[in-house]
């Protein structure tokens, strides 16, 4: 609001938090429109909102923009820190069920250099979102994500069964020390098509 005030000091300004939940943010978007806000700006990401289709927040944005509100959202915060591809199955390593994703040339490991700090890696795949009420049964695919050492030894994995739930895995971890660490991401499909 301070930046907007610097540019347009006589503009009427309003604020509504969006950090409580995606459902609350959607209600806030409508509340701002109902309070006669003509321009709405946000810089909030909900990692459980669908990446490949409209969720509750996007539908609220569509609703208010259809009524003449200009809506702006910061989309570039993580734009260059992503990977998107079709699942390319190859045999999973020993000890894991199903298939691993081939990142190219038969390599099932996506190399990373991780500076010390806290990380949240979110993996979603294109499938129906159960928690958004789109379907009664959820995804038919169970994908898992693992952080591995540079030599492929699994350090940490998130492998909940997604069948009939949301197509979502969240991998959170902390890299300690004072120097960057080499690691890799491995993605597997335990079941599904």
Query: What are the tens digits of pLDDT across the range 14-48?
Result: 999 988 888 999 999 999 999 999 999 998 888 88
Higher-pLDDT residue of 1 and 142 is: 142
Residue 124 banded pLDDT, cuts 50, 70, 90: very high
Q: Beta 70-73 vs 39-42: how paired, if at all?
A: parallel
- What pLDDT is stored for residue 107 in this prediction? 94
- What pLDDT is stored for residue 86 in this prediction? 94
Percent of the chain with pLDDT over 70: 96
Predicted confidence (pLDDT) at residue 75 exceeds the cutoff of 70? no
Least confident span in 75-79, 116-120, 160-164, 189-193: 75-79
* pTM reported for the whole predicted model: 0.79
Higher-pLDDT residue of 9 and 129 is: 9
Predicted confidence (pLDDT) at residue 94 exceeds the cutoff of 90? no
Query: What are the tens digits of pLDDT across the range 142-177?
Result: 999 999 987 778 888 878 888 888 899 999 999 999
- What pLDDT is stored for residue 68 in this prediction? 97
């Amino acid at each position: 609001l301070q930046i907007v005030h610097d540019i347009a000091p006589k503009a009427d300004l309003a604020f509504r938090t969006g950090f409580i939940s995606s459902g609350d943010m959607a209600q806030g978007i409508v509340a701002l429109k109902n309070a006669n806000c003509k321009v709405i700006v946000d810089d909030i990401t909900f990692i459980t909102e669908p990446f490949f289709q409209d969720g509750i927040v996007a539908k609220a944005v569509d609703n208010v923009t259809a009524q003449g509100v200009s809506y702006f959202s910061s989309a570039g915060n993580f734009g260059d820190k992503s990977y998107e591809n079709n699942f390319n199955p190859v045999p999973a390593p020993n000890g894991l069920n199903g298939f691993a994703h081939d990142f190219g040339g038969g390599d099932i490991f996506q190399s990373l250099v991780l500076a010390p700090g806290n990380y949240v890696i979110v993996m979603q795949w294109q499938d129906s979102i159960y928690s958004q009420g789109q379907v009664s049964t959820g995804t038919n695919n169970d994908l898992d994500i693992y952080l591995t050492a540079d030599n492929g030894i699994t350090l940490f994995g998130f492998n909940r069964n997604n069948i009939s739930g949301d197509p979502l895995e969240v991998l959170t971890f902390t890299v300690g020390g004072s120097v960057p660490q080499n690691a890799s991401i491995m993605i597997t499909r335990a079941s599904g098509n």
